Chain A
Amino acid sequence: MTSIADGGRAAGRAETMGVWFVVKKTLRKPQFWFGFTMIFPLLIWYWIFSFGPIIQAFRMSTVAYKLLDPGNSPFVGLGNFIKIAQHPLFWVSVKNTILWAVYSFIFHLPLAMLIAVCLSKVKRGRNVYQALIFVPVVVSLVAVSLLFKMLMDPEVGQLNKLLSSIGLPELQWLSSTSSALPTAVVIATWKGLGFFVVILTAGMLNIPSELYDAGLVDGTNPWQQFWLITMPLMSHTILLVTVLLAIGSLQEFTLPTVLFGSEGGPGNSTFLYNLLVYQEAFLDIRFGTATAASLFQFAFILTISILQIKLLRPSWTY
């Protein structure tokens, strides 16, 4: 009752109180209340658990954080950034992380593309193959790490037994400085490949088969089909895969940690950047330098992603 009367009065004064009228009209809409009750918690949550911590991170990186009295942490400007860059393992971890990412690309992309092409071409049993190749993705990464550490044990591991039984020299796998990192990336590839295979296969099956038929009429061979039809039409999916691969491999943490503990492998050879951040933050309890280190990582990943999108995004769509 009152609301109708209010509405009438508000409408009468619409010229003088235009804003108030609009507000009242909005408040009475059912859409408003539904939207409000849904958006309000989102704003609160994002403020506390996402934007807030991000802003906090920028602030924290410029102070020498005092654990017991955070309010009085002295301002040190860029001191934390300089300090982390002088950390004895900083450049080691940067080098290792970039190597990890490069190996990830080399191991993942060609193999995933090859499997995806085969899956999109195979006539029988596609779903079964796909389901089985996807199995390692579902399995806990920690279990995978333990599994391969057992298989790759240089003395009692099954892989070396296999190599020696077919007359090949035994390998050091995860136990030597030179082979630990590539071997660990092989494990990461074994675990992650199915994910990219499924994305790429879905992209390939999405290409209309008329295009291949037209290609056949023009007399293309399978090689030309791949480079002239599949690759150009897959460019969006491939861009997605490369960006995901870069973001994922530059933030790797679990695999080296479970394989070697937080020291990162023989002679620090798998000490990745995220292990450095973790060590600074939660083992040495230096929150300021740790967030400074993570902001370096943020800048680096952002740059790489933008570069990839700029370089690889096709200028046309289909």
Chain B
Amino acid sequence: MAVIGKTGPARRQPPRRIEISQSIIQIFLLGMVVVAIFPFIWMIFASLKPFKELVESRQLLPETWTLRNYDEILGRVNFYAAFRNSIVSAVSVTVVSVYTSSVMGYIFSKYRFAGKEVLFTIVLSTMMVPFAVIMVPLYITIANSFGLADNLGGIIVTGFYTAFGIFLMRQFMESIPFELIDAARIDGASEWRIFFTLVLPMSMSPMSALAVFVFLVNWDSFLWPLIVLSSQDKQTLPLVLAGLRNLWWTRYEMWAAGSMLTVAPVMLIYSIASRYFIRGIAMTGLKA
């Protein structure tokens, strides 16, 4: 049995049937890829067309190439501020929550203290509560007790801990043997040193997966920023982009240019690091 491994060439099927079914699979997947990608390609070119052509033409490629859409939109809407706000909030939430998730995952997995399981269960059960339930009281807390209404801080501070991240990191930390940590203790390493120089480097793979996940969720977050941030220069990219609908009612070339400005940075990161994105999602699926 062991001989027929995953890499073994030993699938006994008539070779021709494999070839036919393989080419059907390839064609189907290719079709799915076109469906997934084509709207973007259309949008790239749409953002380079003048309005009249965008509305009338059936061609994918523009007849008149123009960058005036981008000029106009950057003149009217402060995309730089929105971009900065999005980066600041998504990156700080990601850094802090990945750190807190690893620490708490480690403690929930390797420490013994009274009430540990109860605390863990309570923390996890907060995941079951829909966001709509807490959005009003949370807004009141943020606005009245912290004075963070219309402030990026209100977005950032509510993302410091994630129950899902703690759960994911605990699942992973279970696989680190106790013996390793005890050995470090006997060698006289402090608890801080054990965590930062032994446990953290071992957890890089689930941490990067979690980081990707948290970043995506926060970069795309809409409802909570919509509630907290009201003034134009404080808003994040999704809010500014959604505002284009009211600013230019059916100026589709403006929509396309604005969407491109929002999508391009993430696509750039994705084209370099797509494998981490996918591994991240796959790993969260397998562990959860």
Q: Which residues of A contact B (CB under 8 A)?
A: 30-31, 33-35, 38-39, 41-42, 45-46, 48-54, 56-57, 60, 70, 114-115, 118-119, 121-125, 127, 129-143, 145-151, 153, 156, 158, 161, 165, 190, 194-195, 198-203, 206, 208-210, 213, 216, 222, 237, 240, 247, 250-251, 253-254, 257-258, 261, 274, 277-278, 281-282, 287, 290-291, 293-295, 297-298, 301-302, 305
CB pair B278–A115 under 8 Å, yes or no, is no
Shortest Cβ distance from A101 into chain B, in angstroms? 13
Q: Which of B26, B191, B274 contacts A131 (CB 8 A)?
A: B274
23 A-B pairs with C-beta separation under 8 A: A30-B191, A35-B107, A39-B107, A49-B160, A50-B134, A54-B134, A138-B216, A139-B266, A142-B220, A142-B222, A143-B262, A146-B244, A147-B43, A156-B54, A199-B281, A213-B4, A237-B285, A240-B288, A253-B222, A258-B222, A278-B132, A282-B227, A293-B132
Docked complex Cα distance between A227 and B36 (Å): 28
Residue B245 interfacial (CB < 8 Å) = yes
Among B67-75, B122-130, B170-178, B200-208, the stretch that binds chain A is B122-130
Q: Give every chain B residue within 8 A of A60 (Cβ-Cβ).
A: 136-137
In the complex, are the beta carbons of A136 and B137 less than 8 A apart?
A: no
Query: How many B residues touch A, CB cutoff 8 Å?
Result: 95
Interface hits, B229-288 → A, CB 8 Å: 237-238, 241-242, 244-245, 250, 252, 255-256, 258-259, 262-263, 266-267, 270, 274-275, 277-278, 281-286, 288
List B contacts of A136 (CB < 8 A).
36
Which residues of B are in contact with A by a Cβ distance under 8 Å? 1, 4-6, 10-13, 21-22, 25-26, 28-30, 32-33, 35-37, 39-40, 42-43, 46, 54-56, 58, 100, 103-104, 107, 111, 113, 119, 122-123, 126, 128-138, 140-141, 145, 157-158, 160-161, 190-192, 195, 216, 219-220, 222-223, 227, 237-238, 241-242, 244-245, 250, 252, 255-256, 258-259, 262-263, 266-267, 270, 274-275, 277-278, 281-286, 288
A146 touches B255 (CB 8 A): yes
User: B191, A34: Cβ atoms under 8 Å?
Assistant: yes
**In whole angstroms, what is the CA distance A121 to B26 when docked?**
10
On whether A49 and B158 interact (CB within 8 A), knowing A35-B111, A297-B132, the answer reads yes
A290 to B, closest residue via Cβ: B136
Q: Verify A54–B126 contact, CB threshold 8 A.
A: yes
- Whether the pair A287, B244 counts as a contact (CB closer than 8 A) is no
Does A199 lie within 8 Å of B126, measured CB to CB? no
Let me know if A134 and B238 touch, CB within 8 A.
no
Chain B residues, Cβ within 8 Å of A253: 222-223
Q: List the B residue with the shortest CB-CB distance to A145.
A: B242
Chain A residues whose CB sits within 8 angstroms of the CB of B244 once the complex forms: 146
Are B25 and A118 in contact, with the CB atoms below 8 A? yes
In the complex the two chains form, is B133's CB within 8 Å of A121's CB?
Answer: no
A15 CB to closest chain B CB, in angstroms?
Answer: 22
Contact A251 B131 (CB under 8 A): yes
The CA-CA distance from A85 to B28 in the complex, in Å, is: 47
Residues of B within 8 A of A114 (CB): 28
Cβ–Cβ contact A198 & B11, under 8 A: no
Q: Return the chain A residue nearest B274 by Cβ.
A: A131
Determine if B33 and A53 form an interchain contact, defined as CB atoms under 8 angstroms apart. Answer: no
Instruction: Give which listed residue, B55, B103, B135, B137, contacts A38 with CB less than 8 A.
Output: B103
Q: Smallest distance from the beta carbon of A272 to chain B beta carbons, Å?
A: 11
A287 CA / B262 CA spacing, docked (Å): 33
Q: Counting chain B CB atoms within 10 Å of each CB, which of A30, A39, A146, A301 scores highest?
A: A146
CA distance A186 to B192 in the complex (A): 50
Asked if A216 and B11 sit within 8 Å, CB to CB, the answer is: yes
Known: A49-B141, A141-B220, A213-B4. 4 other contacts (CB 8 A): A121-B22, A134-B274, A200-B285, A201-B282
A51 and B40 alpha carbons, distance in the complex (Å): 42
Contact A156 B278 (CB under 8 A): no
A190–B43 alpha-carbon span in the complex (Å):
16
Q: Which residue of A lies closest to B166 (CB)?
A: A42
Interface-centre pick from A49, A240, A257 (highest chain B CB count, 10 A): A49
Q: Once bound together, how far apart are the Cα atoms of A38 and B29, in whole Å?
A: 47
Evaluate contact between A199 and B285: CB separation under 8 angstroms.
Answer: yes
